[in-house]
Structures are given as structure tokens and as C-alpha cells.
Chain A
Amino acid sequence: MKLKSHVSALALASASIAALTGAAQAWTLEEAAKPYAGTELEVLFLDRPGYNAAIKMLPEFEAATGIKVNYTTVPYENALGEQVRDFVAGGDLDIALIDLVWIGNFAENGWLVPSETFIKNPALADPALDMADFFPLVLDAFGSWNGVNYGLPFDNYSGLLFYNRCMLEAAGFDKPPATWQEVMDTYGPALTKDGKYAYALQSKRNETQSADSFARFLWPFGGSFLNAEFRSNLNSPESQAGLKFRQDLMKFMPEGIVAYDHAETVNAFAQGDVAMITEWSAFYSTVVSPETSKVADCVEIAPEPTGPAGRKPALGGFSLAVASQADDAEKAAGWLFIQWVTSKAKAGQYLEMGGVPARQSAYADPALAATYKFIPALVESWKEGVPEFRPRFAEWPAITEIVQEWGTKMMLGEVSIEDGAKTIGEKMEAVLAEAGYYDGKKPLAQ
């Protein structure tokens, strides 16, 4: 893969620079931060476990560097808008929080500083940065666009199957479903009874609909949003099969599933009303904590079931990058923070506090897998993921709105799967035509 080779070249370069400078003088965060003491950094955070973990780690960073990190917590649904408006208006955000589907957009608008700028600067680059230690898929997908890396993976997810072992055992299953077909044929009917449901699929009309619901049933069935010519692939037999499968599976889901966002879905699972959910790894701490979960002792984690085309699990997550609108001191300070919070050295602490690091080294210790049951499934998922699970180009924010609207209409039965897919396809192609993909103005990158 082209992207991957670029990034690993970058990682190599950084390693060699580190080797050169590391020999000359010992790099320390304290020394590197000295010129920037008193700098204040503005960044948006979400109210999710990974951010709460980082917030708990902040005092240590601030004490060591004298750099102050001012975070503003916003809901995910507002995070894109707030950042776009801030960048367009030349606002005060110094660090960009990038969902993987925003990377193309932010990068093409020139709102981000490539990480190479800092990696090349021996005063700022930590010799122990070790870019190659990030899961390559995650570093590519979350932080890189067109072969250039901007962001370091910070709040990292893969879709996982959370299942209630007690409910499955009561219904005579001693292991989780391996394939979606099993969910449909055996697990679904056996577990949907007495007001309980086999499965819940968060499908609310926002990014949840496109990422968690729509795309989740395209890829394992061999479907995709676009074909090689960037035309809609949603009416291909594979895509149609996946979307029809999703529709059929709704009989094993609670009513009103199109109003379920993550909170409702996780809660239904945590209350013991639903036997299985496919959710982001980040929810692990919520479902195993007795304070928020009635089924904490029954929770087990597996990779998502496979479809005819393999596993291709949902991929999502956020990287942090330096915003180009920041001034030089803020840029340097911002890099130091990003580098520190995603570092190898801090990965263990981040994990302990509820975050999910993207460092391969963090998961090397086999003892960890006993404490954090999601680790084996996560590592496996990050080996089999597709970076373009949702296309990451600049047009995604426009396309996701279309998918959200028509995807929910399909599920509500207001439009047939074929017609809905056709409508999405037409509207999506109109957006892509406008962007200039079909007349050769733009490379076909997603």
C-alpha cells in the first residue's frame, strides 16, 4: 500500500534523526519546553473515556513544561462544526482534533501542519517518538492524507463485538457468533424473547448512522461506497446484500433502533436488555464498571463477526495535529503535548486510566490481556481493517449527511433498499463531480 510505505519511510527518517541527535545530547521534555513555558494551548475534547484519561494526565505535563492545555468539551456532533468555523475564522484553536473522516478535509484546506515539520526539528522531536510503533493501519487512517502524516493517533477505536456471556450461555451458546450469518440464523432467534433482544445496532441519524450502521454492513459483505472509478458501488450485488442483511437483522433489534445512539445502545447492553452489541472499544470501561453496568461480570469481548468478504470491522478514531493557524510558540508547544500524550512511555498510563492507545508496544505484555479483555480482539481488528471504511476525502462531511438521511429512511421502510441506495449514489456522485474527481482535477484518493 502506498500510504503505508510513505509513513514508514517517515518513521525511519525520524528514527535516524533521533539516533543522531540522541547521541549528542539527552533530549528531555523539560528542556525542550523551556522556551514555551507559559504558552496556552486551546483544543477541543469530547466527553469520552480517552479524553477523561488525558485530562487526568494533564497536570503532570503542565508541571513538567509550564505549558497550559485549555480544553473545551463539546459533543461529537458539534466538534466538526466548531472546528471548521474556528479554522475558517482564524480562531484560537491550536490543536486540531481529527476524526479519521475529517482528515482529508482538514488537510486539503491547509488547516494542519505536517508532523514532519516537527520530527525534523531536533529541539522538538523526542528521540523515543518511534512512529513505527503505532499500528500502521491506525497511523495511516487517523493521521495521514495523501501520503503526508499530520496527526498522531490519540483516541483510538475499532468496532468490537461485546456480548453478554450469561445470556448466551442461558440460550445454549458457549461461544460468540463467528459470522453474521450465525447471528441471523441461530443467535438472533434464540436470544430475542421475553422483551430481550439478541442485538442492537446504533443507527441514529448522525455520524452513527453512516459509520456504525451503514458502513458496518457494506464491507463484510464485499460492498463499498465507491468503485475504482469513484462511481457509486452501493447498487452492486454485494453492497445490496449487506444493506438487505441489515434490514432483515432489525427483527432481532429493539424497536426504534433508528433513534439509538451510542448511549442508548451501550445502556441497553449494560442493563441486560440486549445480548450483543457491536461498539467501539472505548466503551469497554463503561460496560465493565459495576457503577454503570448491571452485567459487568458477564461482559466478554470478541472481534466483530465476519461476512462473506471477511471481517473488515468498523474503524474509527481521532488523531491530534498541530493547527496551522497557531503561532510559532503554540505550534511547538502543541507538538510537544501531542507527542507526549501519544508517546510510548505514556501509553500504559493512558490505558490504565481508560484510554485506548494505538501503540503496539503497549499491548505486548500478555498479562495485560487478562486485565483488559478487549485487547486481543482489538489487536486482531487493527490488523484486518480497511482505512477507507468510510472514505476520508474532503467530501465526506457532505456525503455522510446524504447517507445519514437516506440510510435512516431505508431502515424506517420509507424507501426501498434499491431506491435508497440509488438516491445516495446519485447525490454522492453529484458531490464528487462538483469536487472535480471525474474530470481529472483531483486524484482518486479516499
Chain B
Amino acid sequence: MAAPTNRRHAWGEGVLLLLIGLFCVFPFYWMVTTSLKTQVVALESPPVWWFTPTLANYREVLFVDKVGPALINSLIVAVSTTALAVGLGTPAAYALARFEFRGKRDLWFWFITNRFVSPVVLAFPVFLIARETGLRDTHIALILMYLTFTLPIVIWICTDQFRSIPHELDEAAMLEGASQWRIFRSICLPLAMPGVAVSSILSFIFSWNELLFAYILAPKAAKTAPAMAVTFMEGYDVPYGKIMATSTLIVVPVLIFALLASKHLVRGLTMGAVK
């Protein structure tokens, strides 16, 4: 009696899982297949599912439309800002987790608020500042501005991580006369590596995906890939294949990183609110 119900249950559940999976993955399938279509095929109505694929769109966007350099810019900016955020953020996280001092709560609140600030608030003043300082259209301008969201991510996740390290270890080291810096570097940081890794991956994803700062601050030399994707939207002609090829090139690296960090992604996105 129980067995058939269970099997039927399992079937129902399987179908449900399949639907959930399709719901998530189908747009990516459509993006990739559209990127392999010529403009004529992409504009077939109704859309076609079987066709002879071509890599022409990729060849064109990478080598003619300068999406290649834009991807390199994105990489430079995302890696640099992540490294900087980790370098600045881990000591701060350590201090928040281990030291007692006045104003700690306010400081922590200030860090956390940055997660809520919309880039559109900062973008225009930063444009004016970049104009005065000559940082417009440089990688540095983007690397610095991306700290507004990468640094808080690193601080939050790593603060959590440092707190979970038992105090006995550093107490023993302190008795032996080690400085706080040494304890941080040699004992706690190695133990906090999982948190550092997760926050790095998240910083990378967020920086890679950013559009508004890039769009306003880096019109040409430092133009990143998402800003590049937007430039195909000329009202005269909408090259679906090229747009989707560019989109695929932008999305694939972040999806790989997201899958690598999938176990910790939720914790990262909720800023440690959910374990």
C-alpha cells in the first residue's frame, strides 16, 4: 500500500523538480541558441528551435565590436577591486569580531548601510569628482567605486567567520607574546580562508555585473562588458544574435563562479543573516 503512493509521490516530485530546473535554465538555453543564429534566423517568426548554428556573432563581437577588450577591462576591474577589498576588509572584520571599543555598533551599522545605497546616488557626484581628478575613464575610478559594495561584503562575511574561530588559539598565542597583527596574520586569517574565498567570489560577481558606474564613468578606454552590451541597443537595428553572444560571454564567467560558490552564495547574498 505504502510503496505505490511513495512512488507516485516521487514521480510528482520529480516532475516538479524538472519544472523548477527548466524555469531557471531555459532563458540561458535561449540566450545561447539565439547567439548562434544569424540575424535572418533570429528574426524568424515564429522563432525556430532547430537551425544551423554559426559562430559568426562571437567572431564579430569579440574582434570587430571590441567586446574582447571590454571583457579584459571587466576582469581587471573585478579582480583588482576584490583584492583591494580583501586587503582592506579582513583586518577590519577581525577588529570588529575580536576587539572591544566605543562606537563599534555605529561603525558596523555604517558598513551595513552601504549595502542599501543605490549606485545612482553616488554616480553623478563621482563623475564630477573624476572629472576634476582626471580619473574619468580609468580602471582606478571603477576599482575605487566598486569598493562601496565589495568592502562591506568582505567585512560582513569575514566578521562572521572570525567570530566562529575559537578564542583559545589566539589566547595561547597572546600569552606567548605575539602581537595582534601576528595573531591575525598567522592564526586567524588562515582559519578564516573559507569566508575570504566566499566573499571574494561574491565581490567578483557583483563587480563583474555592475552597470551604472561603468556606464557613466568609463565611456571608452576602461569600458566594461555590461556597458558594452548596452551599446548595441541602437534604435536603427537590433542585432539579436550579437546582443545574445555578448550576453553569453558576460554571463558565463559569473555563472561558473556562482556554481563554485553555490553552497555559500545564499549566506553571502544575505550578508550572513542566514547561515
Residues of A within 8 A of B (CB): 42, 46-48, 72-78, 82, 85-86, 88-92, 204, 206, 208, 261-263, 266-267, 271, 282-283, 286, 291-292
Q: By the criterion CB–CB under 8 Å, are A89 and B131 in contact?
A: yes
A416 CB → nearest B CB, Å: 28
Question: Once bound together, how far apart are the Cα atoms of A48 and B231, in whole Å?
Answer: 13
**What are the residues of chain A within 8 A of B232 when measuring CB–CB?**
47, 75
Closest partner residue, chain B, to A208 (CB atom): B235
Given A91-B136, A91-B137, A291-B40: A86 in contact with B235 (beta carbons within 8 A): no
Q: By the criterion CB–CB under 8 Å, are A75 and B235 in contact?
A: yes
Given A90-B131, A263-B238: A85 in contact with B231 (beta carbons within 8 A): no
**What are the residues of chain B within 8 A of A47 when measuring CB–CB?**
232, 234, 236-237
Q: By the criterion CB–CB under 8 Å, are A78 and B231 in contact?
A: yes
**What are the residues of chain B within 8 A of A90 when measuring CB–CB?**
131
Selected A-B contacts with CB under 8 Å, 17 pairs? A42-B220, A47-B237, A48-B236, A73-B65, A74-B231, A75-B230, A75-B231, A75-B232, A77-B233, A78-B231, A82-B219, A89-B131, A208-B235, A263-B234, A263-B235, A271-B45, A283-B236
**What are the residues of chain B within 8 A of A88 when measuring CB–CB?**
131
**What are the residues of chain A within 8 A of B238 when measuring CB–CB?**
263
Residues of B within 8 A of A (CB): 39-40, 43, 45, 65, 127, 130-131, 136-137, 216, 219-220, 230-238
Given A85-B219, A91-B137, A291-B40: A76 in contact with B234 (beta carbons within 8 A): yes
Ranked 8 nearest A-B pairs via Cβ: A89-B131, A261-B235, A75-B234, A47-B234, A262-B235, A263-B238, A262-B236, A89-B136
**What are the residues of chain A within 8 A of B233 when measuring CB–CB?**
75, 77
**What are the residues of chain B within 8 A of A263 when measuring CB–CB?**
234-238
Among A89, A206, A283, find the residue whose CB has the most chain B CB atoms closer than 10 A.
A89
B134 CB → nearest A CB, Å: 9
Q: By the criterion CB–CB under 8 Å, are A85 and B127 in contact?
A: yes
**What are the residues of chain B within 8 A of A92 when measuring CB–CB?**
220
Closest partner residue, chain B, to A78 (CB atom): B231
**What are the residues of chain B within 8 A of A82 when measuring CB–CB?**
219
Closest partner residue, chain A, to B45 (CB atom): A271
B47 CB → nearest A CB, Å: 14
**What are the residues of chain B within 8 A of A271 when measuring CB–CB?**
45
Closest partner residue, chain A, to B132 (CB atom): A89
Question: Once bound together, how far apart are the Cα atoms of A206 and B233, in whole Å?
Answer: 13
Closest partner residue, chain B, to A75 (CB atom): B234
List 12 other contacts, CB 8 Å, given A78-B230, A206-B235, A266-B236: A46-B234, A47-B232, A74-B231, A76-B236, A85-B219, A90-B131, A261-B235, A262-B235, A263-B234, A263-B238, A267-B43, A286-B237
A296 CB → nearest B CB, Å: 13
Q: By the criterion CB–CB under 8 Å, are A48 and B219 in contact?
A: no
Question: Once bound together, how far apart are the Cα atoms of A92 and B220, in whole Å?
Answer: 10
**What are the residues of chain A within 8 A of B236 when measuring CB–CB?**
46-48, 76, 262-263, 266, 282-283
Among B65, B131, B220, B235, find the residue whose CB has the most chain A CB atoms closer than 10 A.
B235
A406 CB → nearest B CB, Å: 20
A243 CB → nearest B CB, Å: 23
Closest partner residue, chain B, to A207 (CB atom): B235
Among A46, A263, A286, find the residue whose CB has the most chain B CB atoms closer than 10 A.
A263
**What are the residues of chain B within 8 A of A291 when measuring CB–CB?**
40
Closest partner residue, chain B, to A79 (CB atom): B234
Question: Once bound together, how far apart are the Cα atoms of A177 and B144, in whole Å?
Answer: 60
**What are the residues of chain A within 8 A of B65 when measuring CB–CB?**
73
A425 CB → nearest B CB, Å: 27
Closest partner residue, chain A, to B237 (CB atom): A263
Q: By the criterion CB–CB under 8 Å, are A73 and B235 in contact?
A: no
A153 CB → nearest B CB, Å: 19
Question: Once bound together, how far apart are the Cα atoms of A89 and B235, in whole Å?
Answer: 27
Given A47-B237, A262-B236, A291-B40: A89 in contact with B130 (beta carbons within 8 A): yes
Q: By the criterion CB–CB under 8 Å, are A73 and B131 in contact?
A: no
Question: Once bound together, how far apart are the Cα atoms of A284 and B236, in whole Å?
Answer: 12
Closest partner residue, chain A, to B235 (CB atom): A261
Question: Once bound together, how far apart are the Cα atoms of A131 and B123, in whole Å?
Answer: 43
A412 CB → nearest B CB, Å: 19
B41 CB → nearest A CB, Å: 12
A82 CB → nearest B CB, Å: 5
Q: By the criterion CB–CB under 8 Å, are A77 and B220 in contact?
A: no
**What are the residues of chain B within 8 A of A78 when measuring CB–CB?**
230-231
B68 CB → nearest A CB, Å: 15
Closest partner residue, chain A, to B130 (CB atom): A89
Q: By the criterion CB–CB under 8 Å, are A85 and B237 in contact?
A: no
Question: Once bound together, how far apart are the Cα atoms of A89 and B232, in whole Å?
Answer: 25
**What are the residues of chain B within 8 A of A73 when measuring CB–CB?**
65, 231
Closest partner residue, chain A, to B219 (CB atom): A82
B98 CB → nearest A CB, Å: 44
A205 CB → nearest B CB, Å: 11
Question: Once bound together, how far apart are the Cα atoms of A283 and B237, in whole Å?
Answer: 10
Among B137, B216, B232, B237, find the residue whose CB has the most chain A CB atoms closer than 10 A.
B237
Question: Once bound together, how far apart are the Cα atoms of A89 and B230, in whole Å?
Answer: 22
Closest partner residue, chain B, to A280 (CB atom): B236
Among B65, B232, B236, find the residue whose CB has the most chain A CB atoms closer than 10 A.
B236
